[in-house]
Amino acid sequence: MTDTISAIKRLSEEYYEEVLAFRRHLHSHPELSFQEYNTADFIEEKLREMGITDLERKADTGITFLIKGAKDNGKTVAMRADIDALPIKEANEVSYKSQNDGVMHACGHDVHTASLLGATKILTQLTDHFEGTIKAIFQPGEEKLPGGASLLIKEGILENPKPNRILGQHVMPLIDSGKVGFRKGMYMASADEVYFTVKGKGGHAAMPENAIDPVLITSHIIVALQQIVSRNSSPKIPSVLSFGRVEANGATNVIPNEVKVQGTFRTYDEEWRADAHKRMTKMAKGIAEAMGAECDFEVMKGYPHLKNHPEYTEDNIKAAEEYLGKENVVDLDLWLAGEDFAYYSQEIDACFYRLGTRNEEKGITSGVHTPTFDIDEDALKIGMGLFAWLTIAELNRP
């Protein structure tokens, strides 16, 4: 397998400038979730230039195709990259700055897409180095509910052929460029949106006896709902309930008729998640009723929690150590952000790992989802190379 690693590293160096150009083009032309039509056309154009013509569209802007090895050993491994951008105005002054004002690849999906294009180019040159089948997936709409992964699954992305395992890669600005991170078991949280409206009776603030104060009632509900996590959840299951938007639209001397609240609930257990939804709804409605008001309560169910298959992830850790050296493979902590790759992990063995992109000497330290996010572009060599190597290693594993 050392010959394969050497070949992948050589090709990663050879294709670097081309893949860098892919990334910069994508970064300059970002498109929002489920609107990635030009992005999909660009991906198809580059794949056809590589000689890949048997392409299939899914969910309008998703693209999938197969790469077959020297023999059919009955195994299929999927590789996924997300392609959408975020509604953020870029603040970076770089030659590849977003040309679509108010839209930016602030979560690194341009990197993921370029890496998978690079890995594809490598893999098509090394088909005699592996057996089995690779299913490549360029996925739309990771940043927006219901999540492109859920739509692709409904359209049969995990069938014909069904992957035994699926691999996903994501940038991580907390990890130095040149390193990657893995975590076995539960990794990222489910992510639900919580909306509720407390309807009372407005009036003059100096005469509260004539009103049913929705501001006060909302305050009781917000405080009480924290007990859902602190007293109903097992301490062994990480959970977070946070409220980030409260709209009262009253004044110093005006009690409003209603208050609207928005928040998020995140956890790592699907049974507890469903139970928490019921408990929150019952508690909020009950408090409002007891205080003379009404409460409309809605939980918009988001992505499930992401779990990395322990054995598959351990295999990938060992393979990454072979490729990069043990000192460049780090352990990840729990991450309570949401990610729709979780849908795949609920269906088949999955591994979602992190590509280090930080470089303090170059001033590249900003987090994802910020206007100044960028990457150390040298990370693209590992982005494409390790992606290809982990896939080959899995296919060739007994």
The string of DSSP codes covering 124-170 is HH-GGG--SEEEEEEE--TTSTT-HHHHHHHTTTT-SSPPSEEEEEE
Boundary-marking domain end, from 254, 276, 303: 303
pLDDT at 299: 97
Looking at the fold, whether 207 and 180 belong to one and the same domain comes out as no
pLDDT at 155: 98
Only one residue has tokens 């009253």, namely 250
Q: How many folded domains does the chain comprise? A: 2
CA distances from 340 to 108, 140, 234 (A): 15, 11, 25
Reduced to 3 states (helix: H, G, I; strand: E, B; else coil), residue 113 is helix
Inter-residue contact 82 to 142 (CB < 8 Å) = yes
Boundary-marking domain end, from 288, 303, 318: 303
pLDDT at 344: 98
Looking at the fold, whether 359 and 330 belong to one and the same domain comes out as yes
Give the residue among 111, 112, 180 at the shortest CA–CA distance from 320: 180
Q: What is the CATH number of the domain that holds 286?
A: 3.30.70.360
Amino acid at 398: P
User: 121 is written with which tokens?
Assistant: 């180019």
Instruction: Report the predicted TM-score, pTM, of the whole model to 2 decimal places.
Output: 0.94
Amino acid at 5: I
DSSP state, 87?
A: S
pLDDT at 40: 98
Q: What is the CATH number of the domain that holds 355?
A: 3.40.630.10
pLDDT at 2: 82
CA distances from 298 to 71, 197, 260, 275 (A): 52, 9, 12, 14
Residue 68, phi then psi, degrees to nearest 5: -105, 140
Looking at the fold, whether 341 and 276 belong to one and the same domain comes out as no
Residue 77, phi then psi, degrees to nearest 5: -120, 135
Looking at the fold, whether 75 and 156 belong to one and the same domain comes out as yes
Which residue range forms the structural domain that includes residue 226? 191-303
Looking at the fold, whether 287 and 312 belong to one and the same domain comes out as no
Spans in the chain with pLDDT lower than 70 = 1
pLDDT at 176: 98
- C-alpha 54/C-alpha 67 separation (Å) is 10
The residues that are catalytic are 84, 142
- C-alpha 278/C-alpha 293 separation (Å) is 20
pLDDT (tens digit per residue) in 3-28: 999 999 999 999 999 999 999 999 99
Boundary-marking domain end, from 303, 319, 336: 303
Only one residue has tokens 């939804």, namely 277
